Amino acid sequence: QVTLKESGPVLVKPTETLTLTCTVSGFSLSNARMGVSWIRQPPGKALEWLAHIFSNDEKSYSTSLKSRLTISKDTSKSQVVLTMTNMDPVDTATYYCARTTIFGVVIRYYGMDVWGQGTTVTVSS
């Protein structure tokens, strides 16, 4: 059974750095056809993709947040870590991690096929 679980602080202060951990089970972060993405959703708003990382350490970041985000993985611990610097109240959201599978052989299509339950982060002084 594939599961992902997000963990991190519930409350952070403005200007602080947020560190979130995604612990996965049921698949390996060394699997060449899988990676992990982070997505967030402010209350009542749409989903926003933040970043992803794959087994070969290929990474990509949201254009608008690139300067504030860092994604990394520890394959031995089955964990993916996302850090976001200089937190602001507008960053208040539910943060999800999701397994990202590469579908197809000739053409690589990507889909976020298993999601964690999400963790709610509030930014307030």
Partner 1 sequence: DIQMTQSPSSLSASVGDRVTITCRASQSISSYLNWYQQKPGKAPKLLIYAASSLQSGVPSRFSGSGSGTDFTLTISSLQPEDFATYYCQQSYSTRWTFGQGTKLEIK
Stretch that binds partner 1, among 9-17, 25-33, 46-54, 71-79 (CB under 8 A): 46-54
Residues facing residue 115 across a β-bridge = 98
CA 42, 111, 63, 52 torsion-angle sign: positive
Instruction: State the nearest-atom distance from the C-beta of 101 to partner 1, in Å.
Output: 8
Binding flag, residue 43, partner 1 (CB under 8 A)? no
Give the separation between CA 28 and CA 2, rounded to whole angstroms. 10
Binding flag, residue 118, partner 1 (CB under 8 A)? yes
Instruction: State the nearest-atom distance from the C-beta of 112 to partner 1, in Å.
Output: 6
Site string for partner 1, 21-40 (x = CB under 8 A): ----------------x-x-
Binding flag, residue 110, partner 1 (CB under 8 A)? yes
Contacts of residue 86, Cβ cutoff 8 Å, sequence gap at least 6: 15, 17, 68
Give the separation between CA 27 and CA 20, rounded to whole angstroms. 20
Nearer to partner 1 by Cβ, of 16 and 31: the residue is 31
Largest CA distance in the chain: 50
Give the separation between CA 57 and CA 16, rounded to whole angstroms. 26
Question: How many residues bind partner 1, per CB under 8 A?
Answer: 26
Q: Give me the residues that bind partner 1 (CB under 8 A), please.
A: 37, 39, 46-49, 52, 60-64, 96, 98, 103-104, 107, 109-113, 115-118
